Amino acid sequence: MCGIFVSEGEISSEQMDEVLQLLHHRGPDEGKAVVSGRVHLGHRRLSIIGLDDGIQPIHNQRKDRWIVCNGEIYNYAAIKEKLAEDVSFLTKSDSEVALKLVEHQGPEAIGQLDGMFAFFIADEQNDSFVVARDTLGIKPLYYGTDKEGNYVFSSELKAIEAFVEEASEFPHGHYFTPEEGFVCYRKIEAPANEFSQTHLEEVFDSIQSTMIHAVEKRLLADVEVGVLLSGGLDSSLIAAIAAQKQQGDKPLKSFCVGAEGSADVMNARIVAEAIGTDHYEYIYTEEELIEAVSDVIYHLESYEPSLVRSAIPNYFVSKLAAEHVKVILSGEGADELFAGYAYMEKFQETAALNKEIIRILNTLHNVNLQRADRMSMAHSIELRVPFLDLEVVENALQIPAALKVHQKDRMEKWLLRKAFDGTLPEEVLWRKKAEFSEGSGALDLLDMHAENTISDQKFNQVKEEAPVEIRSKQEMFYYQIFRKHFPKEKMLNNVGKWATA
């Protein structure tokens, strides 16, 4: 995983050094900057694939096209094999495959890429460029223009705010060229067909096969891969599959954090013992949790309460995992795909349920996925999300609502549980869902802290003065920290909001 920064306009070497230092946490292994024509490209690298020769920016043979990329292309080997007859490669990096694919087939070929990515390709020969972001926005990307109208792009807002009039989030599933503007190359759509309700075994088999393949893809790395294990259904399934499929003699490493006696810690121990992982845990105190909030908000670039609450355990578990591995797998996306949220009970028709699933999948880029990326990257570790594999998504959307939504005689995500019956201990497989922040013990501690430290008078004063709506004392607590880190009002425009605070 990496951090990228690109400017069409003039930027001094000192300014580039400062920017890359701001992105150092995204890629502590090495950093480099080059100028291609009038485009300045900067990159910080966390080396995962092609350890010895993958330093970026990467150029083509003529050195008139360059790429900086943040992410992983999971099908890079298959694409490389197809291109090999006409193309020679200079590195073993998956990012070079994206460069060569676009160079030889044009930006419309970006739809062939299977992965999580945000990249910029400078085309010096044609005085142009191509920018792209993955289908769901798993990897972050922001853009804006400077006072002269030159484009600037970056992985994080903190690196771009000083250069642009206003920063915007680059739309997921799109590429951009100066000639065409924004082009949607892929979006999640409802399938034309759905599984038959009477063929349950076919549905179970499809869930199993797509999930196993998704995990196998994400075990691809030249470094060790571990798993986040909260002890809940989603992370436990990922861990169980990864433990079975990983290569080598060492057991899979799993990681969990929580307050003393929290449900996550207890349940993760049960799962780790059952599937045989090399398990690590960290018990944080109330003082540590409160102390971490400022750093969490700085990296998260948000004050949204639900996001911050759930980000704090992510922050601690990423810190723990980074002491042992460079890549971790997470259970993000299962609730969205398999109707794990209680409100989804009202969507009894498949078309209506799929419309809602697609809607929330398209919001993940600046809520759950922002949290996942930023908290892992805060500790220079790459996080991968098997449930959001495009094959898994496509398959899940073919499942009728009647098999997915919560019923009186079966609990939420019943279908997912049944598909992996026997894979996990019964008490894990059939335990009711809990929020990550709730199970880790973070929720009550943060609520109490905000209530105890903010008076009603102060809350009402800040609520009146703030240029945005402040919905609770907890949100105010986070908002004030956010404004200390990012005093410019324009930074508020990219804060994603959940329905409640």
Active site residues: 2
Beta strands in 60-114 (DSSP E): 65-73
Supply the DSSP string of 287-327, one letter for each residue: HHHHHHHHHHHHHHT---HHHHHHHHHHHHHHHHHTTT-SE
Q: Is 422 exposed, middle or buried (0-12, 13-18, 19+ CB in 10 A)?
A: exposed
Q: Examine residue 57 and say whether the peptide bond preceding it is cis (omega within 30 degrees of 0).
A: yes
The total of other beta-carbon atoms located within 10 Å of residue 58's CB is 26
Residues found in the chain: 501
Q: What is the DSSP letter of 61?
A: T
Cα(153)–Cα(360) distance, integer angstroms: 26
The tokens describing 417, both together, are 């549980």
User: Which positions ≥6 away from 82 have C-beta within 8 Å?
Assistant: none
Compute the radius of gyration of the chain from its Cα atoms.
22
SS3 content of the chain, % helix, strand, coil (to 5): 45, 20, 40
Alpha carbon 314 to its chain's center: 12
Orientation of helix 456-465 relative to helix 473-485, angle to 10° = 50
Task: Yes or no: say if 62 and 44 are a contact pair by the CB < 8 Å rule.
Answer: no
Question: Which residues are paired to 39 by β-bridges?
Answer: 36
Q: Given strand 142-145, what is the order of strands in its sheet?
A: 30-36, 39-45, 2-7, 151-154, 142-145, 168-169
Sort strands 382-384 and 327-329 into parallel, antiparallel or unpaired.
parallel
